Structure 1
């Protein structure tokens, strides 16, 4: 059975969804998404400390979509394509981010998540300082701080799954619970 983006999206948007978006992720869209999230948190009267965590993680996730999302195979008019869903869950919120990723990047990315997820607070903070002082960046401009930051800020491990699509892409779903 082939992957169906619209079906996946419909299955992940529910009555607990505060915000959702799917489509092209460019600089203007990034700004609009973040402004909308701030407005939702203001309207729902999220505590300031929680708002800061959520916004920080949203920034990381939306930047990931912008910098690392691949073209949507069905419609190549999008430079980079992504989905983001903001849900309320028991005792908090979750942010689901999803984008297409080339098969050769998938293993590197998921291995890095597994590695950082396996670390305790002390080791994670040491890795953060090491990466921060390291001047090595990927070809897309990232240094790996986003994943580390999301784990540190959320206090939770990142969850991910991937679905094979047509062509040489996978659909990668990353979930952060706060």
Structure 2
């Protein structure tokens, strides 16, 4: 048998880390819809947690779909491109962890790190103000949205963003962002 990936090691790692959902590939609408359905179904008895996890998943997925520098073209339509990346949702005793990863250009690393640092320096009220300010700015040419995804993630999670950038070569790095969503105690939900 040739040298390759040890699937059993992956399986054991996923089991030990209580991985609920793991996906690697193109972040196209049809796939995102299926993952969204799975998230909603898994948390149907806890609507508040479901809403937070679903909203954060959508923001992370949109970041990959729109900003990953690893792209797939589907069909003959060259305009239908989708970013490739990775998403993982895991559970621990007191929180859920959402992690996404995708390829980015090295020249974009400082701006992304700066955005994440800015988000992490603000409290909830500061984040809400930043979100309003960003919505009022004119949209940059070629960019979708109001550039508020990271801010929205931090507001919904009410926890800081964790960011890791691993250089791959002279042109690209792998960008990983993770955030924890605390589980609601029974006293909080009553």
TM-score (norm 1): 0.83
- What's the offset of the Cα at 1:138? 5.8
CA distance in 2, matches of 1:91, 1:102: 35
Stretch of structure 1 that moved more, 11-20 or 168-177: 11-20
1:37 pairs with one of 36, 39, 48: 39
Q: Does the 8 Å CA contact 1:132/1:145 hold for their aligned counterparts?
A: yes
Q: Does the 8 Å CA contact 2:131/2:151 hold for their aligned counterparts?
A: yes
1:101 pairs with one of 94, 99, 104: 104
Runs of 5+ consecutive residues of structure 1 not aligned to the other structure = none
User: What residue number does 2:94 align with?
Assistant: 91
CA distance in 2, matches of 1:108, 1:76: 27
RMSD: 2.8
Q: Does the 8 Å CA contact 1:96/1:174 hold for their aligned counterparts?
A: yes
User: What residue number does 1:163 align with?
Assistant: 166
Which string of whole-angstrom CA distances, capped at 9 and with x for unpartnered residues, describes residues 27-53 of structure 1? Answer: 2222222122222223xx3x1111111
Which string of whole-angstrom CA distances, capped at 9 and with x for unpartnered residues, describes residues 40-81 of structure 1? Answer: 223xx3x11111111110110111110011117xx9998521
**Corresponding residue SS for 2:35:** helix
Runs of 5+ consecutive residues of structure 2 not aligned to the other structure = 75-80, 182-190
Query: For the structure 1 residues 160 and 131, does the alpha-carbon distance in structure 2 shift closer, same or farther, using more than 3 Å as the test?
Result: same
Q: Which has the larger radius of gyration?
A: 2
Query: For the structure 1 residues 170 and 26, does the alpha-carbon distance in structure 2 shift closer, same or farther, using more than 3 Å as the test?
Result: same
CA distance in 2, matches of 1:25, 1:124: 27
TM-score (norm 2): 0.78
CA distance in 1, matches of 2:167, 2:47: 39
**Corresponding residue SS for 2:36:** helix
**Corresponding residue SS for 1:20:** strand
Aligned residues: 168
Which string of whole-angstrom CA distances, capped at 9 and with x for unpartnered residues, describes residues 69-102 of structure 1? Answer: 1117xx9998521000000023110001000011
Q: Does the 8 Å CA contact 2:22/2:88 hold for their aligned counterparts?
A: yes
Which string of whole-angstrom CA distances, capped at 9 and with x for unpartnered residues, describes residues 112-166 of structure 1? Answer: 0101110122221111111122232363324221111111110000001011113
Q: Does the 8 Å CA contact 1:18/1:40 hold for their aligned counterparts?
A: no
